[in-house]
Structure 1
Amino acid sequence: MPVGLIALALGGFGIGLTEFVIAGLLPQVAADFAVSEASAGWFISGYALSVVVGALGLTAAVTRFQRKPVLAALLVLFIAGNLLSATADGYWAMMLGRVIAALSHGAFFGIGAVVAAGMVPPSKKAGAIALMFTGLTAANVLGVPFGTLLGQAAGWRATFWAITVIGVAALAGILALVPASAGGTEEAPSLRSELRAFRSGQVWLSIVVTILGFGGMFGAFTYIAYTLTEVSGFAASTVPWLLIVFGVGLFAGNTLGGKAADRNVDRTLLVVLAALTVVLVAFALTATNPVLTIISLVLMGGFGFATVPGLQMRVMKYAAGALTLASGANIGAFNVGNALGAWLGGVTITAGFGYTSPIWAGAAITLAGVVVMALAAAGAKRGEQQPGKEVRAVDELAVR
């Protein structure tokens, strides 16, 4: 694999770390700014909603530009946002930093996936995209727990300084190692042709499943530090190590979910989402038991991220070859789910339902995702029985 893919993965690592590490630092950040848990949760919801804006607005705005300089510009935006977060002197300055950093998120992954595919022969495109997204997985397995540990030892601002340095390193790597021709303008369709993807009802159904399926898991994860310390009885110092446990499940789920989705996307998503619903219900019921909580963390990470490859693949499958904007839009959908889960979890805590209530809310959201996925799968099956109805955009990507 080209070494430039490592630079893309490093950018994905930094962006994933920015998104998820705040969950482990939320109690410290809330105490520092003297705000409630729900108010601090908006650092997650605000980030997620800004990702949506960037995924759609920025991706649409730059779709006809050369992609290497676009990726570099997005990382400059990312660096600026994290620098502002590290130096924020108040709640709203921190929020602005989160918003600025988030604007680069969806566009970076949406465009970066096309660039990664453009760096390798057609037979290796899927592997190249997977390698880029490995950075996001690594951010959860290693970055989040160690970023939390750094924040607890040296203050939460130290974590954002570290992320800023990672962003600078990724920028240097992309400028030096990614070929200018990778995913160049000759491969980039016009905005009008990219919008064709949204004529497909299956694309919209896939996006809704992404919102609900990922939102359910993230609703439980957003306030996990409070659940672990206030319900399960773990010391705050153990939270980073418990997040490693979550990350191990995440890594395994992401890998196995991708392999399963290669065989049958819809069946995989139905089974995994149903299993995630069961896991969340079991977690909510047994959160007072430390041993069962650890098991639930592994399974929540595993089933939660086992959906990611399939959800991204499903959108691309029905996008009619207009992959860049559809890919970015689905990255945005993941973050709408993040915002929905974080917001609903904050509402339940504020209402006085306790620190297991976000897990119950997550289970309800995921169950809704199962229902929508069942409807989407039934519609797709009917379409496959009609010649010419199924669009295989992933194959078109391989031809590019």
Structure 2
Amino acid sequence: MLFAASMVEPSRRGQAAANVLLGLSIANVVGVPAATWLGQTFGWRATFISVAALAALTIALVRAWTPEVSPTGASPARELGALKKPQVLLTLGVAAVGFGGIFAVYSYVVPTLVEVTRLPASAAPVMLAVLGCGMIAGNIAGGRLADKALKATMVGVLIYSALVIGAFVFTSVNAYAAALNLFLIGGCIAMGPALQTRLMDVAGDAQTLAATLNHSAFNIANALGAWLGGLAVAAGFGWTAPGWVGFLLALGGLALLLTSLALDRRERAAA
């Protein structure tokens, strides 16, 4: 995302980051079902062979079509300096906690659809594709909104995330309501481009490490959401409990974001 953003004017950084995330969203809609079909039809090795072939093709395309970008004055010491900046750490915290809400629901969506919505297991891929379509829409909207009003977009998306993730506790009892809700939950990915743009603003001259840590924060969110959601289910609160966990995680991310924005205002006042 950082590489894509470096190739456009500053006012379009959000859209550039969104275009990269769009690939991930499309992979959820197209790649995952295709890989599953390959494995079922030709054996599991066929999936790994196809992924390896696509990776080789990607290497060739990147080498042939992308420009060479060499950061000036880059060094490990300069990059590690990002970890000393409170705003960088707070923004990474927003990603690790706020995004955990999505994964709390996503990790247990299939058993929820089977046990609560009473859908057959064969319908789960269709519902996951609906969620993936929501991710595509969220990416497109998130990139454009981030370029227009970055901070307002981040606050708005976290509030939106809390509402739509929490709503899954109630909508999961009906197949049509659950499908609509999953589409809306996919839209929570709109936070991705905004967070990447925010990191570019607060990381200063340590852009590379900050961008890499952003993906690490997403992985922490994946683990945190799945773990806490699993604890809630194991504690006997039912398959809808991850929705409440996701609701609280989204609010936690919002609290971290508001702290970051308050620190922004204090620093500007001091300056």
Do both share a fold (TM > 0.5)? yes
Whether contact under 8 Å (2:162, 2:251) holds in the other structure is yes
Deviation at 1:312, TM superposition (A): 1.3
Question: Are 2:54 and 1:166 aligned?
Answer: no
Whether contact under 8 Å (1:148, 1:240) holds in the other structure is no
2:86 matched residue in structure 1: 201
**SS in structure 2 of the partner of residue 288 of structure 1:** coil
Whole-Å separation in 2 of the counterparts to 1:270 and 1:121: 25
Mapping for residues 37-52 of structure 1, pairs under 5 Å: none
Q: 1:380 aligns with which of 261, 264, 268?
A: 264
Question: Are 2:3 and 1:144 aligned?
Answer: no
Deviation at 1:232, TM superposition (A): 0.6
The structure-2 alpha-carbon separation of the partners of 1:232 and 1:279, relative to structure 1 and needing over 3 Å to count, comes to same
**SS in structure 1 of the partner of residue 137 of structure 2:** helix
Mapping for residues 150-229 of structure 1, pairs under 5 Å: 153-154=40-41, 158=44, 161-175=46-60, 177-178=62-63, 182-184=68-70, 187=72, 189-229=74-114
Deviation at 1:177, TM superposition (A): 4.5
The runs of 5 or more residues in structure 2 that have no matched partner are none
Supply the AA of the counterpart residue of 1:174.
I
Whether contact under 8 Å (2:225, 2:246) holds in the other structure is yes
Identity among equivalent positions (%) equals: 36
Supply the AA of the counterpart residue of 1:244.
A
The structure-2 alpha-carbon separation of the partners of 1:229 and 1:306, relative to structure 1 and needing over 3 Å to count, comes to same
The structure-2 alpha-carbon separation of the partners of 1:313 and 1:123, relative to structure 1 and needing over 3 Å to count, comes to closer
Supply the AA of the counterpart residue of 1:341.
G
Deviation at 1:148, TM superposition (A): 4.6
Whether contact under 8 Å (1:214, 1:337) holds in the other structure is yes
Whether contact under 8 Å (2:232, 2:241) holds in the other structure is yes
Question: Are 2:118 and 1:233 aligned?
Answer: yes
Whether contact under 8 Å (2:131, 2:185) holds in the other structure is yes
Question: Are 2:162 and 1:274 aligned?
Answer: no
TM-score, normalising length: structure 1: 0.61
2:210 matched residue in structure 1: 326
Deviation at 1:385, TM superposition (A): 4.0
Supply the AA of the counterpart residue of 1:289.
N
Supply the AA of the counterpart residue of 1:327.
A
Deviation at 1:294, TM superposition (A): 0.9
The structure-2 alpha-carbon separation of the partners of 1:178 and 1:124, relative to structure 1 and needing over 3 Å to count, comes to farther
Whole-Å separation in 2 of the counterparts to 1:121 and 1:264: 18
Q: 1:132 aligns with which of 6, 13, 20?
A: 20
**SS in structure 2 of the partner of residue 352 of structure 1:** helix
Whole-Å separation in 1 of the counterparts to 2:73 and 2:47: 34
* Matched length: 269
Supply the AA of the counterpart residue of 2:174.
N
The structure-2 alpha-carbon separation of the partners of 1:128 and 1:314, relative to structure 1 and needing over 3 Å to count, comes to closer
Supply the AA of the counterpart residue of 1:222.
S
Whether contact under 8 Å (2:164, 2:181) holds in the other structure is yes
Deviation at 1:163, TM superposition (A): 4.6
Q: Deviations over 1:243-290 (max 9, x none)?
A: 111111111111101111112222111111111111122111221111
**SS in structure 2 of the partner of residue 178 of structure 1:** helix
Whole-Å separation in 1 of the counterparts to 2:229 and 2:173: 18
Supply the AA of the counterpart residue of 2:134.
G
Deviation at 1:199, TM superposition (A): 2.3
Taking only aligned residues, the RMSD between alpha carbons, in angstroms, comes to: 2.6
